[in-house]
């Protein structure tokens, strides 16, 4: 079993913001799997599906970004899923818009949602699919940038990124993280 969680902030106020790319990707993945991510439990909206023979729990934590680890830990404990079977999809300001970067472990890299997950799981050994949202302008506050929406001209690039992130998650489950890294980390 796998947990695939997209990070974001709840409420309509944050829909379609840079920080909510994880929610967008999980919605696309749910569509591909014929799943519904509507059941409220573990401080998240959850749904179940199958990728090949593997059962997957799809999740959109409702704890707000900086407390995502509370929800992820509750799910991991309830379903008895080890960190190496957890895949987190989140935004990354260090990558160009739409670019993906897949890793099986590593630091939070300044991302408060990942930092909280690391703290709650007690390890950095979980997979993450980072979705590029572009570098923030120097004169702009980081919070304002990640809580802002994409300009219209970037929407197509981001729609493709959500598709790619969903496909990357599927590949990670079916073929392994290394195959997904080899394919998606090189894709521009």
One DSSP character per residue, 68-122 reads HHHHHHHHHHHHT--GGGEEEEEEETTS-TT-EEEESS---TT-HHHHHHHHHHT
Task: Check the annotation: does 162 bind a ligand.
Answer: no
Would you tell me how many other CB atoms lie within 10 Å of the CB of residue 96? 13
For residues 4 and 30, give the distance between their C-alpha atoms in angstroms, rounded to a whole number.
10
For residues 175 and 161, give the distance between their C-alpha atoms in angstroms, rounded to a whole number.
20
Task: Check the annotation: does 64 bind a ligand.
Answer: yes
Task: Check the annotation: does 185 bind a ligand.
Answer: no
Inter-residue contact 95 to 17 (CB < 8 Å): no
Task: Check the annotation: does 66 bind a ligand.
Answer: yes
For residues 173 and 171, give the distance between their C-alpha atoms in angstroms, rounded to a whole number.
5
What is the Cα Rg of the chain in Å?
Answer: 15
Active site residue 19: yes
- Which contiguous run of DSSP H or E holds residue 37? none
Residues in contact with 52: Cβ distance below 8 Å, sequence separation at least 6, in sequence order: 173, 174
Q: What's phi and psi for 61, nearest 5 deg?
A: -55, 140
Which residues are known to be catalytic?
Answer: 19
Q: Which residues are annotated as a binding site for tRNA?
A: 14, 64, 66, 112
């Amino acid at each position: 079993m796998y947990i695939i969680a997209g990070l974001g902030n709840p409420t309509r106020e944050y829909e379609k913001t840079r920080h909510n790319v994880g929610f967008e990707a999980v919605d696309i993945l749910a569509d591909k799997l014929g799943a519904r991510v509507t059941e409220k439990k573990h401080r998240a909206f959850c749904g179940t599906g199958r990728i090949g023979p593997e059962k997957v729990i799809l999740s959109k934590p409702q704890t707000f970004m900086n407390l995502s680890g509370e929800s992820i830990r509750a799910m991991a404990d309830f379903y008895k899923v080890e960190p190496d079977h957890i895949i987190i999809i989140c935004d990354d300001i260090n990558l160009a818009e739409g670019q993906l970067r897949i890793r099986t472990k590593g630091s939070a890299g300044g991302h408060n949602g990942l930092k909280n997950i690391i703290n709650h799981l007690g390890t950095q050994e979980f997979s993450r699919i980072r979705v590029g949202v572009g570098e923030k302008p120097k004169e702009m506050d980081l919070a304002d940038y990640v809580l802002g929406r994409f300009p219209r001209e970037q929407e197509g690039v981001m729609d493709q990124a959500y598709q790619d992130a969903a496909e990357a998650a599927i590949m990670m489950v079916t073929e392994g993280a290394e195959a997904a890294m080899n394919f998606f980390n090189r894709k521009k």
